[in-house]
Amino acid sequence: MADDETGNRGRRSTIMIKKGVVDTIPLPPKGSRTTVWDREIKGFGVRVASTGVRTYILRYRMGGRDTPVRTVTIGQHGSPWTADQARRRAAELLTEVRSGRDIVAEKEALRVEEKEEFARREERLFEVVVEQWFEDHVQRDELRSEDDIRGVIDRDLKPAFAGRTIDEITRKDVTRALSAIGRRSGSAANKAHKWIRQIFNWLIGQGDIEHSPVDKVERPFPEPSRDRVLRLGELVVLWVALDRIVEPFRTYYRFLILLGQRLREASDAPWSEFDLEVGDWLLPTSRTKSKRDHLVPLSEQAIELLEGIQPDPRRRRGPVFTTNGSVGISGFSKMKAEIDAAIADLLAESEAARALVGDALPHWVVHDVRRSLSTGCQAMGIDLMHTEAILNHVIGKKASGAARVYHLYDYYDEKAVALEKWGDLVEKAVAAFRRGDVEAVRAMDPARRAKRRERRRRGGVCED
């Protein structure tokens, strides 16, 4: 009987499968297949599809007629299989079957084994394991730097080790990845080193690996000084250099100068957190490093910046600082380089700028702006507790225990006064610079005034 593979049985068709014959086998009806068997080698045949594709196969049983039929695909006719090659291969396979080897069962077992191995490998891929670490360690323990860690994972670690398991990552892979990240940002490379080390140490503790590829890999870059403060004149030069930076980055960095909030807490801020009528910015617990709500009184200068970036209240939806309307801005390393270039251009062109900061602005990072606001406020005589409240820092007894439950005063009025004073100072200093009055900018520097007051106090001179 001939198989037409549609459920019908007809007269069995046998031929001598050889060169020149296979191409002459007529095609079956559209959408069906038929098989023509060889008259010499039992079970050897050519499966012909209505599309014209001809495939050599071998059918066999491992026992009597009550055992299932097994089908082995030898290969497609024409390339690379000729009729003679397929015939020889069929004879070889039948010899193996007669010796007790079940070829199909072996292939199925191999497929199962490969599938299981693939699943095991998938479970140990770095991009899978790192999510387990993030959930079990970062989120469960409520680390304050959760957003920052997420950025390091998504931006640097996952791309660096994509497609590799935790067993395949070598020390060389780690150093190569850190070097590549370091070409963009030394700080980013140090953060990547910190977290990749913790991830592999966690894996050792879990019993998933025996040794860490980060072992004996040193931090790639020296940690920068954390005491850099931009003096008022330096902040003025930065502010004016931002004239050369495109929006929304120009307004974003000026916003940081005025309010001193954390880089990503500001960059991801949605319009829904702002009430410009009242003059407040409320950061919810879910977005703050301290894991508590943070109410920031907006100075008049900050409100003016926000109104400038979107004058129409009806269109204030989504992120405030965005280039596509969907997500907050990113690319801070690239933008920092552009700002540094803008500062260098300003210093090359402006004698007044050089008079304030010299031929070049000493190295600074964006976080120094936050520290500069705090230091400037203290120099203006603002209470330390009030500046720390502006920064949403937790101090002393308020950090834990009953004090965290009962001491809930947030110094709103004091924060508002301090930020208004700071905003007025920056605004006046920038205005003085734009009219060319460098001495006025110097005289406004609160650190200089504090030093002068101390000198006069020691000399017995009273100031009103």
* DSSP assignment of 304-319: HHHHHH---GGG--SB
289 lies in the same domain as 398: yes
pLDDT at position 51 = 93
Does residue 136 carry a pLDDT above 60?
yes
Host domain of residue 316: 232-458
249-261 pLDDT per residue, tens = 999 999 999 999 9
309 lies in the same domain as 428: yes
Element (H, E) at 65: none
Does residue 180 carry a pLDDT above 90?
yes
Which of 45, 33, 102, 52 is CA-nearest to residue 75? 45
State the total domains in the chain: 3
Residue 214 located in a structural domain: no
Question: Where residue 448 falls among pLDDT bands split at 50, 70, 90?
Answer: confident
- Cβ neighbors of 64 (< 8 A, separation 6 or more) are none
Question: CA distances (Å), 132 to each of 68, 128, 139, 207, in order?
Answer: 45, 7, 10, 14
305 lies in the same domain as 435: yes
Q: Which of 106-120, 331-345, 365-379 has the lowest mean pLDDT?
A: 106-120
Does residue 144 carry a pLDDT above 70?
no
Question: Where residue 455 falls among pLDDT bands split at 50, 70, 90?
Answer: low
> For residues 177 and 215, is the Cβ–Cβ distance under 8 A?
no
Q: 58 forms bridges with which residues in the sheet? A: 44, 72
Question: CA distances (Å), 70 to each of 17, 93, 102, in order?
Answer: 20, 12, 9
Residue 40 located in a structural domain: yes
Q: What is the mean pLDDT of the chain?
A: 89
420-439 pLDDT per residue, tens = 999 999 999 999 999 999 99
Among 53, 69, 103, the domain-final residue is 103
Average pLDDT over residues 146-175: 93
Among 50, 74, 103, the domain-final residue is 103
Average pLDDT over residues 157-163: 94
Residue 176 located in a structural domain: yes
Average pLDDT over residues 325-336: 90
Residue 140 located in a structural domain: yes
CATH number at residue 24: 3.30.160.390
pLDDT at position 394 = 74
Q: How far apart are CA 55 and CA 53, in angstroms?
A: 7
- AA letter at 146: E
266 lies in the same domain as 388: yes
Q: How far apart are CA 35 and CA 12, in angstroms?
A: 9
Residue 221 located in a structural domain: no
Q: What is the pTM of this model?
A: 0.60
CATH number at residue 440: 1.10.443
Q: 61 forms bridges with which residues in the sheet? A: 69
156 lies in the same domain as 56: no
428 lies in the same domain as 395: yes
> For residues 289 and 145, is the Cβ–Cβ distance under 8 A?
yes
pLDDT at position 403 = 47
Residue 226 located in a structural domain: no
DSSP-derived secondary structure letter, 32:
-
Residue 112 located in a structural domain: no
251 lies in the same domain as 392: yes
53 lies in the same domain as 148: no
pLDDT at position 139 = 81
Among 206, 241, 268, the domain-final residue is 206
Per-residue b or e along 208-241, where b marks 16 or more CB atoms closer than 10 Å to that residue's CB? ebeebbbeebeebeeeeeeebbbbbbbbbbbbbb
Question: Where residue 464 falls among pLDDT bands split at 50, 70, 90?
Answer: very low
pLDDT at position 187 = 85
Residue 211 located in a structural domain: no
DSSP-derived secondary structure letter, 157:
I
98 lies in the same domain as 142: no
Q: How far apart are CA 300 and CA 276, in angstroms?
A: 10
> CB-hemisphere CA count at 13 Å for 159?
10
**Which position has the higher pLDDT, 145 or 91?**
91
Average pLDDT over residues 184-195: 91
55-101 pLDDT per residue, tens = 999 999 988 888 899 999 999 998 789 999 999 999 999 999 989 99
Does residue 279 carry a pLDDT above 80?
yes
Cis peptide preceding 80, ω within 30 of 0: yes
434 lies in the same domain as 316: yes
Question: Where residue 289 falls among pLDDT bands split at 50, 70, 90?
Answer: confident
241 lies in the same domain as 199: no
Per-residue b or e along 136-173, where b marks 16 or more CB atoms closer than 10 Å to that residue's CB? eebeeeeeeebbbbebbbebbbeebbeebbbeebeeee
pLDDT at position 20 = 86
Does residue 395 carry a pLDDT above 60?
yes
53 lies in the same domain as 13: yes
